[in-house]
């Protein structure tokens, strides 16, 4: 495919995705009784719009990459993920509108059935995306096993969801029109068979995505130059996405296994409120993946990612530490006030807040020093060397000694192939 044809095809996919998500949002907002995950629950309009933006970020970045680098499959994987996601969003909204608002429209149950299992192709594409980044090739031939595990996992999951008797996974008010009820062999029911297929498929999808993330870490270890910087950008977004996806898949495995085998439904995430809050965080992490990938692939504003990672580690740890100290301080001081006066006091909150304000700067410096020593040892040592040289420079009067000290500092901090003065 020529570059021009690739660009036309990629942007056509992006336009189709924009049309699908526009119709899906329209149908969502005109459907009164909407059941996205649980009966009676309806997502907030802001969340619906956010997920709409997310769904367009993938095909847009995919089209930008594919139109400039048509031989790199990364752009096409982004287009595929965006297209599948938007197809599923549209079919979910169409099925809800048809079944709940306007029964004149045809194929409502069949569209709902299609939307239930087609979404499991996206974890497969995400595993391939991580495996092939950034050059579109596997790290080595032995990683083909991970690719086949992802394909088998998606196929088994889709098989179990598509033909499992009972209500549909997403449209909980619809009976599966293609549910197979019967007995296979000696006492094995189709309910048990398709339940095992779902659990095994989800487990394979989970393992394939974790293995793909491991391959990316190993690729970073061996990469050099621009490729190393690209992988850093990609990992900065992919790691939280992969962790979030793994938690969601693990929650589905536990819930499906305990439900399908009549053990009483158990969820890894304790409540719907926790799941919804986690979903918001996961959506934000997912939104970062196409943005950081575009920066990495096209080397657009590819500056020192180490600084971004460094600041994230420092202020992330600082935030967690300050919140823990603030809450712990309030609890401890309230206990002291209760023991002394017999009642709680707002002074505990004020004192705890003042303590946090006083500890902010020294804590930040200590955490920054710890991060520099633990993860950025070379730069930390270079800074210490320069500080020591600056101190010596104030008192050194021998020009020859100063010359040797300066050359030594340059060799130690910059590590050039040759240096002279």
Quick one: 247 and 102 in the same domain? yes
Predicted pLDDT of residue 1: 72
Note the pLDDT tens digit of each residue in 184-203: 777 778 888 888 888 899 89
Mean pLDDT of 218-247: 81
Q: Is 50 exceeded by the pLDDT of residue 411? A: yes
Residue 164's Cβ-side half-sphere holds a number of Cα atoms within 13 Å equal to 29
Looking at the 3D structure of the chain, how many domains does it have?
3
Predicted pLDDT of residue 301: 42
Quick one: 243 and 340 in the same domain? no
CB 90 within 8 A of CB 41: no
Q: Is 70 exceeded by the pLDDT of residue 64? A: yes
What CATH number does residue 25 fall under? 1.20.1070
The boundaries of the domain holding residue 420 are 386-421
Predicted pLDDT of residue 400: 79
Q: Which of 302, 322, 343 is the last residue of a domain?
A: 302
Residues pairing with 167 in the sheet: 175
Query: What are the tokens at 58?
Result: 């993938």
Residue 21: which residues within 8 A CB-CB, separation 6 or more? 52, 55, 56, 86, 89, 90
Quick one: 163 and 231 in the same domain? yes
Residue 99: which residues within 8 A CB-CB, separation 6 or more? 108, 109, 112, 171, 173, 174
270 vs 100, more confident: 100
Q: Which of 286, 302, 318 is the last residue of a domain?
A: 302
Max mean pLDDT among 201-215, 216-230, 259-273, 307-321 falls in 201-215
Rounded to whole angstroms, what are the CA distances from 85 to 47, 88, 139, 167, 329? 16, 5, 27, 22, 46
Predicted pLDDT of residue 382: 66
CB 371 within 8 A of CB 313: yes
Q: Is 90 exceeded by the pLDDT of residue 16? A: yes
Quick one: 9 and 118 in the same domain? yes
Range scoring the smallest mean pLDDT among 115-124, 264-273, 315-324 = 264-273
Q: What b/e readout covers 274-294, taking b as 16+ CB neighbours within 10 angstroms?
A: ebbeebeebbebbbebbebbb
Mean pLDDT of 79-86: 90
Mean pLDDT of 150-166: 89
Within its chain, how far is the Cα of 75 from the centroid? 18
Q: Is residue 208 part of a domain?
A: yes
Q: Is 70 exceeded by the pLDDT of residue 309? A: no
Angle between helices 190-222 and 225-260 (to 10 degrees): 160
Note the pLDDT tens digit of each residue in 248-276: 888 888 877 777 666 666 767 666 667 76
Query: What are the tokens at 184?
Result: 């296979």
Quick one: 285 and 320 in the same domain? no
Predicted pLDDT of residue 32: 67
Q: Is residue 381 part of a domain?
A: no
Residue 188, SS3 per DSSP: strand
Range scoring the smallest mean pLDDT among 40-54, 87-101, 132-146, 272-286 = 40-54
Residue 147 sits at φ, ψ, to 5 deg, of: -65, -45
Quick one: 268 and 324 in the same domain? no
Q: Is 70 exceeded by the pLDDT of residue 298? A: no
What is Dmax (Cα atoms) for the chain? 95
Residue 1's Cβ-side half-sphere holds a number of Cα atoms within 13 Å equal to 17
Quick one: 51 and 188 in the same domain? yes
Predicted pLDDT of residue 43: 58
């Amino acid at each position: 495919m020529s570059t021009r044809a690739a660009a036309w095809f990629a942007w056509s996919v992006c336009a189709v995705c924009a049309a699908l998500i526009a119709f899906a949002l329209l149908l969502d907002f005109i459907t009164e009784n909407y059941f996205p995950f649980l009966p009676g629950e309806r997502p907030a309009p802001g969340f619906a719009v956010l997920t709409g933006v997310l769904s367009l970020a993938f095909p847009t970045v995919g089209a930008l990459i594919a139109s400039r680098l048509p031989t790199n499959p990364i752009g096409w994987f982004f287009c595929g993920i965006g297209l599948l996601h938007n197809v599923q969003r549209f079919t979910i909204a169409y099925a809800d509108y048809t079944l709940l608002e306007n029964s004149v429209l045809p194929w409502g149950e069949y569209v709902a059935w299609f939307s239930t299992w087609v979404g499991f192709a996206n974890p497969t594409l995400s595993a391939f995306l991580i495996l092939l980044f950034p050059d579109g090739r596997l790290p080595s031939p032995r990683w083909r096993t991970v690719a086949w595990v992802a394909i088998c996992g998606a196929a088994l999951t889709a098989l179990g969801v598509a033909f499992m008797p009972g209500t549909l996974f997403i449209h909980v008010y619809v009976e599966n029109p293609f549910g197979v009820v019967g007995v296979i062999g000696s006492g094995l029911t189709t309910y048990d068979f398709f339940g095992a297929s779902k659990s095994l498929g989800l487990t394979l999808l989970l393992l394939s995505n974790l293995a793909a993330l491991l391959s990316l870490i190993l690729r970073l270890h061996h990469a050099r130059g621009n490729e190393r910087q690209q992988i850093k950008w990609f990992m900065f977004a992919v790691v939280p996405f992969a962790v979030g996806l793994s938690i969601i898949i693990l929650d589905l495995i536990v819930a499906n296994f305990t439900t399908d085998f009549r053990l009483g439904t158990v969820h890894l995430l304790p409540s719907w409120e926790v799941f919804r809050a986690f979903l918001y965080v996961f959506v934000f992490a997912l939104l970062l993946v196409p943005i950081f990938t575009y920066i990495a692939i096209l080397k657009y504003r590819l500056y020192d990612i180490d600084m971004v990672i460094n600041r994230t580690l420092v202020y992330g740890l600082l935030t967690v530490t300050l919140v823990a100290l603030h809450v712990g301080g309030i609890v401890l001081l309230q206990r002291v006030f209760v023991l002394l006066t017999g009642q709680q006091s707002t002074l505990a909150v004020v004192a705890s807040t003042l303590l946090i304000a006083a500890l902010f700067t020294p804590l930040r410096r200590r955490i920054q020093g710890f991060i520099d020593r633990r993860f950025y040892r070379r730069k930390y040592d270079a800074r210490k060397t320069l500080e020591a040289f600056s101190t010596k420079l104030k008192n050194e009067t021998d020009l020859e000694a100063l010359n040797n000290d300066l050359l030594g500092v340059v060799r130690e901090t910059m590590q050039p192939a040759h240096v002279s003065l």
